[in-house]
Amino acid sequence: MLPDHLPDHSVGVVTSQTVTIEQPLKLACGVVLPTHELVYETYGELNGERNNAVLICHALSGDHHAAGYYETEDRPGWWDHYIGPGKPIDTNHFFVVCLNNIGSCFGSTGPMSINAETGEPWGASFPSLRARDWVESQKLLMEYLSIECWAAVIGGSLGGMQAMRWSLEHPNKLLNAVVIASSMKLTAQNIAFNEIARRAIKSDPDFCNGSYLQEQKAPLRGLALARMIGHVTYLSDELMGQKFGRELRIGDLVDRNADPVEFQVESYLNYQGDKFSDSFDANSYILITKMLDYFDLSREYDNDPVAAFKQARCNFLVMSFSSDWRFAPQRSREITDALLAAGKSVSYVEIESDKGHDAFLLPNDRYEQALKNYLARVAQQLTGDAR
Amino acid sequence: MLPDHLPDHSVGVVTSQTVTIEQPLKLACGVVLPTHELVYETYGELNGERNNAVLICHALSGDHHAAGYYETEDRPGWWDHYIGPGKPIDTNHFFVVCLNNIGSCFGSTGPMSINAETGEPWGASFPSLRARDWVESQKLLMEYLSIECWAAVIGGSLGGMQAMRWSLEHPNKLLNAVVIASSMKLTAQNIAFNEIARRAIKSDPDFCNGSYLQEQKAPLRGLALARMIGHVTYLSDELMGQKFGRELRIGDLVDRNADPVEFQVESYLNYQGDKFSDSFDANSYILITKMLDYFDLSREYDNDPVAAFKQARCNFLVMSFSSDWRFAPQRSREITDALLAAGKSVSYVEIESDKGHDAFLLPNDRYEQALKNYLARVAQQLTGDAR
């Protein structure tokens, strides 16, 4: 249920909208989606010049509900701390758009949707996706909303990859790219964790080779394991130490005691895994982790990120978090170095945090301030106030 | 098959021996094993004073075959690089003993053994174990071999925990403890990875609540996943980058190609997982990862490692590897600091290596030299040559 009193600076009660994009979308793999559905939300007002729109790009498990409250829920959207009137992504100035991307499982066309050609859910046969496919789908939504140019495209993790891809594919369609806790490509270790997660899902007999919906089953055990693996890598060792240490939830470890023992961290992780597997689709998880693995910013630029970023015309804000070992600060420094070498305008901020990769979703004063300052300047420039 | 020419400095062809320990072993959990079997190997000769024996303690997945060759195999024991005539653990000077510990699955009493009370395999009902139980079982083997005092107890990872436990429980029974890539207790992150591995095993329907032997099944998929998770954490990010990078084994990532793609690192990890699940027992994996989680050197010393180490009378060599993030150098520094504060003689060596936790098993010049120098002095002291 909606809280009795909404907090200050909230965008308030929001509703999502659904649009059927009627233009064909040709995917990088060659498959064409003749039409596709997108679920999205907007916060703030589009101004008369239609130049104050900001696109929020979600990561692996994200959705279109980035801010505000639904009538039926007591928890706000996943980035509510950063989006709202007076917040860093300030809805007094910006018209904020966040969509659920194709291939995901919160209403937009994806593996759970019916494939019109077969009358069955797509399931594991949903076409392979790349980050650029999300960008092209987002561009069709942009056209539907009659937006000519984003004031900024903003995202963390896989969201940052989309922001970078926007800057190369449609350099005239955005003024700023905000790339948070991201990378130009995954490391072998990143890919390894993703592959273990996928294998966990596929090993579950209820996966049924991806046709579990038709079989009225769901690989809940496999998906829970996949999430547990991901979750550990999103947290830092320090944070887990502070949060759980070696505290026991059940039993004790004195001698002469054969009763079961459970550490708090075990209970927490098992809970996180189970919760996630009730809300996410296993085929989407496989599809989107592969999208992460396949992303390589400069593959088609002869593996030269400087050549790649020479395509860009926007300004960049790059941010990273000290304890993020999934997408370490070094990855963001590489982005920054390539942008500088390509002669682009880039601000780089490395934030002290013990919260690991998850830090990009969580409150942090310096992160908040840096994002706010950067976007305040963007807002000023839109109204011609900048000097 | 045995290689045509054995390498120089090999201990040569070895055979394992099996002993039934007839004394009751009272485990920390309170259960008593009336008898138990141990499989072990020895290399080198026990001298007339019977004071040159060295105990090698294996880690999670290790066994008694630490050095030399079996007639039927072309690969030597798991620590062959470090054990042999002229090698750091020099069989010209030492009588080296390595056993498979109880609860494991290579011949010693464990979950695959028949429980005499039921006539069925122990399976998941094998009693919960602590590192101290391994130490007590090793002490019974020591008595069987008529060894009064170890010249050294040596081990990496969980092996190092056993060496530390020896120094506290039987301070007069060892002259030196060599503690490599170890820790006084696991961090929450360590425990988290172990719990995910256990859940992977238990999620496999072929686990049958641990009674898979009776059902003539084996949770191969779950155990493979468990090993894959472990394996990634034993390697460093750098090493995985050097070894695999983003190389593809199958397919390519150009546009307009919907064919499957597989990275080398995926193929490697899947292979490692499958190989392991064919050779290890799932109940043993659960049992021994819990032993790791439960280990806490100073729990019964009011959580004060200095008070704990005051029990010890031996000298210590502590070693760690720079890129080991599972048992980071910081853990070894904590051991060293506690030993110094307890007034013990300790040498600490931090080795530069890009090989992660696995480094303790792999060739490395400085590691080799440091171990060799330390043990050469131990050998001299035995014969009274030290000055």
**A48-57, A264-273, B62-71, range with the lowest pLDDT:** A264-273
Residue A279, C-beta contacts closer than 8 angstroms, at least 6 positions apart: none
* Catalytic residue of the set A104, A113, A137, A157: A157
Residue of B nearest to A254 (CA): B300
Q: Smallest Cα–Cα separation from B281: which of B66, B134, B106, B63?
A: B106
**Per-residue tokens: A364:** 């942090």
Average pLDDT, chain B: 95
User: What is the average pLDDT across A289-307?
Assistant: 96
C-beta separation of A176 from A74 below 8 A: no
For residue A232, the chain B residues in CB contact (below 8 A) are: 189, 192-193, 196
**pLDDT for position A251:** 84
- A269 closest CB neighbour out of B187, B192, B232: B192
Cα angle vertex B330, ends B327, B332, to 5°? 70
Cα A54 to chain centroid distance, Å, stands at 15
Q: Residue B138 has what DSSP assignment?
A: H
How far apart (Å, rounded) are the C-alpha atoms in residues A157 and A59?
Answer: 6
**What is the reported pLDDT for A285?**
98
Contact A232 B187 (CB under 8 A): no
Nearest to B144 by CA among B22, B292, B35, B296: B22
pLDDT digits (tens, 9 = 90+) for A10-43: 999 999 999 999 999 999 999 999 999 999 999 9
Catalytic positions of B are 157, 324, 357
3-state DSSP percent of chain B in helix, strand and coil, to 5: 40, 20, 45
How far is A191 from chain B, CA to nearest CA, in Å? 7
Q: Summarize pLDDT for B257-285 with one digit per residue, the tens.
A: 667 788 999 999 999 999 999 999 999 99
Q: In whole numbers, what is the pLDDT of chain A averaged over residues? A: 95
Percent of chain B with pLDDT over 70: 98
Residue with tokens 């290399």: B43
Which candidate, A273, A363, A268, places its Cα nearest to that of A321?
A: A363
Which domains are delineated in chain A? Answer: 17-185+296-382 (3.40.50.1820), 191-289 (1.10.1740.110)
Strand partners, A114: A121
Signed CA dihedral, A16, A22, A23, A28: sign only: positive
Specify burial of residue A222 (Cβ count, 10 A radius: 0-12, 13-18, 19+).
buried
Query: Does position B177 have pLDDT exceeding 50, yes or no?
Result: yes
Select the residue from B32, B33, B199 to test the A interface by mutation, using most A Cβ atoms within 10 A.
B199
Q: Is the pLDDT assigned to residue B160 strictly greater than 60? A: yes
Task: Report the residue from B203, B240, B290 with minimal CB separation from A192.
Answer: B240
Contact B188 A244 (CB under 8 A): yes
Q: Is A320 in the active site? A: no
- B252 pLDDT more than 90: no
Q: pLDDT by residue (tens digit) across A356-382?
A: 999 999 999 999 999 999 999 999 999
Give the best residue of B217, B229, B233 to mutate against chain A (max A CB count within 10 A). B229
Separation CA B205–CA A205 (nearest Å): 8
Q: What is the pLDDT of residue A387?
A: 43
* Residue A355: closest CA among A235, A232, A183: A235
DSSP B87: S
CB–CB contact A192 B245 (8 Å): no
The structure tokens listed for A325 are 């070992």
Residue A92 has pLDDT above 80, yes or no: yes
Please tell me the distance from the alpha carbon of residue B176 to that of residue B116, in angstroms, as a whole number.
38
Where does the pLDDT of residue A252 fall: very low under 50, low under 70, confident under 90, or very high at 90 and above? confident
The chain B residue lying nearest A290, using CA atoms, is B261
The two tokens of residue A386 are: 């900048």
Mean pLDDT across A196-215: 96
Name the residue among B31, B191, B199 with its Cβ closest to that of A270: B199
pLDDT above 70 (res B386): no
Query: Residues A163-187: what's their mean pLDDT?
Result: 98
pLDDT > 90: percent of chain A = 91
Residues of A in contact with B261 (CB under 8 A): 290, 294
Structure tokens at B49: 């004073």
pLDDT attached to residue B257: 67
Decide: B102 and B129 in contact? Cβ < 8 Å: yes
- Which of B125, B195, B270 to mutate: most A Cβ within 10 Å? B195
pLDDT attached to residue A385: 52
- Statement: residue A5 has pLDDT above 90: no
Kindly determine whether residue B273 and residue A199, on different chains, have CB atoms separated by under 8 Å.
yes
Please report which confidence band the pLDDT of residue B250 belongs to, taking 50, 70 and 90 as the band edges: confident
- pLDDT bucket at A384, cuts 50 / 70 / 90: confident
Residue A257: per-residue pLDDT: 67
What pLDDT score does B256 carry?
66
pLDDT confidence band for B387 (50 / 70 / 90): very low
Confidence class for position A6, pLDDT limits 50, 70, 90: confident
Name the residue of chain A whose CA is nearest to B29's CA: A256
pLDDT confidence tier of residue A95, bands split at 50, 70 and 90: very high
